[in-house]
């Protein structure tokens, strides 16, 4: 296999997803490193891949993907001082220089939300890659194409900007859906009834633009409805604060000369 031995460090959502996709492509990872031996047994049962709790075997790999939380990357890479292969991390915010103890290093950042218990296709998922040498960049790009048709070269600063944007469009959207779910459940209503609305809103944002897709009381300066909503939220002060903050932002953006 042209990419040699592939090792993965970590047992979280990203590590699981990458392992599953590789196996689906009939590429078995060389090994997975999991620090906790008890956890290692569970990962082995789940993925049917060799799982180790020492770095010796990992250091025999040609490519190691460090798929741990951001705060643990430095500790992991401290074990790779004499590593001769290519080491990459999957962080959206951490600099590639965090791996500069390793001569050959880079970044392999999938712009996607991942969960252990969900099977997802990476075909349309942007993979943002970087390597500190042209030769390794070509190898990493070829490797990334196994996963996705959308492989993009991206330096640290642009990747950080993309990650920040992703927090707004993904994480905060998830939070808003959670608040909506809470308000619906109080009235014995399912979140499912919002799916057509959310789907159409997102579709409009991408086919036209978020500005043109935006509707609702704040966008049309319907202050009577806004006041009624705030009264309904009086027993939920945190949600009321969020509602007011976002409403004020929209009103200020689209109705600068009007007052709420």
Q: What CATH number is associated with residue 195?
A: 1.10.1040.20
The CB-side HSE value for 235 (13 A sphere, CA atoms) comes to 4
* Cβ atoms of 163 and 171 closer than 8 Å: no
pLDDT for res 92: 96
The length of the chain in residues reads: 260
Assigned domain for 1 exists: no
The CB-side HSE value for 201 (13 A sphere, CA atoms) comes to 11
Per-residue pLDDT, averaged over 40-64, amounts to 93
Per-residue pLDDT, averaged over 137-165, amounts to 95
pLDDT for res 118: 87
Assess whether pLDDT exceeds 50 at residue 211.
yes
* Measured CA distances, 114 to 18, 72, 85, 139 (Å): 10, 19, 26, 25
From the number of C-beta atoms within 10 Å of its C-beta (0-12, 13-18, 19+), residue 259 rates as exposed
pLDDT for res 9: 97
Looking at the fold, whether 169 and 71 belong to one and the same domain comes out as no
Last residue of a domain, one of 138, 154, 170: 154
pLDDT for res 258: 55
* Cβ atoms of 12 and 47 closer than 8 Å: no
Per-residue pLDDT, averaged over 136-154, amounts to 94
Average pLDDT over all residues of the chain: 94
Task: Give the pTM.
Answer: 0.90
Assigned domain for 105 exists: yes
Per-residue pLDDT, averaged over 147-173, amounts to 96
Last residue of a domain, one of 132, 154, 176: 154
pLDDT for res 1: 45
pLDDT for res 51: 94
**pLDDT by residue (tens digit) across 219-230?**
999 999 999 999
pLDDT for res 37: 85
Looking at the fold, whether 139 and 10 belong to one and the same domain comes out as yes
Assigned domain for 259 exists: no
Confidence of residue 260 (pLDDT cuts 50, 70, 90): very low
The CATH number of the domain holding residue 17 is 3.40.50.720
Looking at the fold, whether 23 and 124 belong to one and the same domain comes out as yes
d(CA 190, CA 201): 19
The boundaries of the domain holding residue 74 are 6-154
Assess whether pLDDT exceeds 80 at residue 3.
no
Looking at the fold, whether 166 and 228 belong to one and the same domain comes out as yes
Looking at the fold, whether 142 and 223 belong to one and the same domain comes out as no
Split into its structural domains, the chain has a count of: 2
Looking at the fold, whether 87 and 127 belong to one and the same domain comes out as yes
Pick from 240, 242, 247: nearest CA to 218: 247
């Amino acid at each position: 296999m042209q990419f040699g031995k592939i090792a993965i460090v970590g047992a979280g959502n990203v590590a699981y997803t990458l392992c599953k996709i590789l196996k689906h492509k009939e590429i078995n990872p060389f090994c997975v490193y999991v620090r906790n031996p008890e956890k290692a047994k569970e990962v082995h049962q789940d993925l049917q891949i060799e799982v180790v709790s020492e770095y010796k075997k990992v250091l025999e790999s040609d490519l190691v993907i460090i798929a741990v939380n951001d705060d643990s990357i430095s500790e992991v890479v401290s074990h790779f001082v004499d590593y001769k292969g290519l080491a990459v991390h999957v962080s959206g915010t951490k600099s590639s220089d965090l791996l500069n103890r390793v001569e050959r290093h880079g970044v392999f950042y999938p712009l996607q939300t991942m969960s252990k218990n969900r099977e997802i296709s990476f075909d349309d998922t942007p993979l943002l890659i970087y390597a500190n040498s042209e030769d390794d960049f070509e190898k990493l790009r070829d490797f990334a194409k196994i996963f996705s048709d959308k492989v993009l070269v991206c330096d640290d600063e642009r990747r950080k900007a993309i990650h920040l944007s992703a927090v707004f469009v993904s994480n905060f959207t998830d939070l808003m859906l959670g608040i909506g779910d809470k308000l619906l459940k109080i009235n014995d209503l399912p979140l499912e009834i919002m799916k057509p609305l959310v789907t159409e809103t997102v579709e409009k944002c991408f086919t036209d633009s978020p500005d043109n897709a935006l509707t609702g009381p704040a966008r049309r300066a319907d202050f009577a409805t806004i006041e009624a909503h705030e009264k309904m939220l009086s027993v939920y002060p945190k949600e009321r604060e969020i509602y007011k903050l976002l409403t004020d932002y929209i009103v200020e953006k689209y109705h600068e000369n009007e007052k709420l």
